[in-house]
Amino acid sequence: MLRDKHIGIDLGTVNVYIFVKGKGIVLKEPSVVAINKETDKILAIGEEARRMVGKTPGNIVTERPMKDGVIADYNTTERMLEYFIRKVWGKRRFSKPKVIVGIPSGGTEVEKRAVMEASIQAGAKDAFLVEEPMAAALGAGIDVGEPNGNMVVDIGGGTTDIAIISLGGIVVNNSIRVAGNKFDQDIIRYIKNKYNLIIGENTAERIKIEIGTALPPENEDENLEIEVRGRDLISGLPKGIVVSSREIYEALKDSLDEIIEGVKRVLESSPPELSSDIADRGIVLTGGGALLKKIDRLIAEATETPVTIAENPLSCVAIGTGKVMDYIDVLKQGRGLITLSR
Ligand SMILES: Nc1ncnc2c1ncn2[C@@H]1O[C@H](COP(=O)(O)OP(=O)(O)OP(=O)(O)O)[C@@H](O)[C@H]1O
Ligand SMILES: [Mg+2]
């Protein structure tokens, strides 16, 4: 079947997910590459490289070639993508897959072309691009072809993509550079300022996932605690402290406010008929950030609109890229699918 030759890729700032029709998600790897700077040789890609973050000797660097949802390092992105495509596709010499890649909304022509070129260099026969919120909506099971307003908020690692979708196209959208990575940085800064303790990115992410919350804990049972180890800023020695959910809420508050502002801005610029649809149908959250405790309630309260979290929020964009071919006509009509001439 011709359609079996398509693979859907969510080329994210933090994670790459690949979806193959009939098989589901076949690859989940962090978008990290470890490179020996002296020889320019790639030492590890994906999960293996992620485990090295913050632990490498001077001649080795770990790099996230995608930053804020765009290609920051073209060559490394291409090599990473090639490795992942080969991993799922094997070395079938005569059959290259067509790939559909999810990209952040509002990117420039140059950024889009870079993703397309990297996909082709990485071994794709052809590459189509779909904007992340559209893919996220498809992956969340929304029928994007209907004349109905649907609002998706995809909180990823680098960007939060907010969009209202109707008739196969994005009607209003906003992409802000506040998402999971910013939350981690907020936690690093908070702990440094309050405890003179320096912690790494992997530790900050673990704190966020285990005890982070988007609304203050309502009682002491909800106020979870975690022991954190790092380096004391003054003595330079290893030190351990205990932090609580309430403190992490304090650390994240400003960034969460920025996300709320971004969501409100999109709601305010919505055509009235679509606003009324959204008031009925609610907002759907996707992306790893949708898993932050109580983020659905925070957004619901701030916008006075019902909010639901998609099933498997981390997989939505990849699943959606896999569904693109089923909606190809409506997406072409609504400009939800981006095709660039080569
Ligand atoms: N349980 C959780 N609670 C809070 N955050 C989480 C949880 N699980 C994952 N995350 C965060 O989700 C983010 C990754 O989400 P996702 O895979 O959707 O991003 P991405 O698609 O790679 O990024 P982008 O879309 O910005 O390019 C990370 O910042 C990660 O720490
Ligand atoms: Mg994403």
pLDDT > 90: percent of the chain: 81
Confirm whether 2-136+317-338 and 180-252 share one CATH topology: no
pLDDT number for residue 24: 94
Question: In this model, does residue 220 exceed pLDDT 80?
Answer: yes
pLDDT number for residue 109: 87
pLDDT number for residue 4: 55
Q: Whose CA is nearest to atom 17 of ligand 1?
A: 15
Question: In this model, does residue 11 exceed pLDDT 90?
Answer: yes
Task: Calculate how far, in angstroms, residue 318's C-alpha sits from the geometric centre of ligand 2.
Answer: 9
Ligand with minimal distance to 182 CA = 1
Residue 31 alpha carbon, nearest atom of ligand 1: 22
More confident residue, 28 or 67: 28
The fourth-level CATH superfamily of domain 180-252 is: ATPase, substrate binding domain, subdomain 4 (3.90.640.10)
Nearest to 295 by CA among 205, 208, 214: 214
Q: To test the ligand 1 pocket, which listed residue (15, 17, 153, 285) has its Cβ within 8 A of the most ligand atoms?
A: 15
* Predicted structure pTM score: 0.94
Task: Calculate how far, in angstroms, residue 13's C-alpha sits from the geometric centre of ligand 2.
Answer: 7
Q: Whose CA is nearest to atom 10 of ligand 1?
A: 288
Architecture of the domain made up of 145-178+255-314: 2-Layer Sandwich (3.30)
Ligand with minimal distance to 16 CA = 1
Rounded average pLDDT over 109-136: 91
Distance CA 212, CA 202 (A): 14
Rounded average pLDDT over 1-28: 87
Question: In this model, does residue 75 exceed pLDDT 80?
Answer: yes
Q: Whose CA is nearest to atom 4 of ligand 1?
A: 292
pLDDT number for residue 108: 85
DSSP assignment of 288-334 = GGGGSBTHHHHHHHHHTS-EEEPSSGGGHHHHHHHHGGGGHHHHHHH
Residue 205 alpha carbon, nearest atom of ligand 1: 31
Task: Calculate how far, in angstroms, residue 67's C-alpha sits from the geometric centre of ligand 2.
Answer: 11
Question: In this model, does residue 1 exceed pLDDT 60?
Answer: no
CATH entry 3.30.420.40 includes domain 2-136+317-338? yes
Question: Could you state, in order of their start, the residue ranges of all structural domains in the chain?
Answer: 2-136+317-338, 145-178+255-314, 180-252
Nearest to 89 by CA among 65, 114, 124: 124
Contacts of 63 (CB under 8 A, 6+ apart): 32, 33, 34, 35, 73, 76
Question: In this model, does residue 229 exceed pLDDT 90?
Answer: yes
pLDDT number for residue 3: 45
Task: Calculate how far, in angstroms, residue 288's C-alpha sits from the geometric centre of ligand 1.
Answer: 3
Residue 158 alpha carbon, nearest atom of ligand 1: 26
Rounded average pLDDT over 175-194: 97
Q: To test the ligand 1 pocket, which listed residue (162, 208, 298, 321) has its Cβ within 8 A of the most ligand atoms?
A: 208
Task: Calculate how far, in angstroms, residue 181's C-alpha sits from the geometric centre of ligand 1.
Answer: 8
CB 224: neighbour CB atoms within 10 A?
17
Ligand with minimal distance to 313 CA = 1
Task: Calculate how far, in angstroms, residue 248's C-alpha sits from the geometric centre of ligand 1.
Answer: 17
Distance CA 156, CA 172 (A): 19
Nearest to 140 by CA among 294, 317, 306: 317
Contacts of 115 (CB under 8 A, 6+ apart): 11, 71, 101, 103, 127, 129
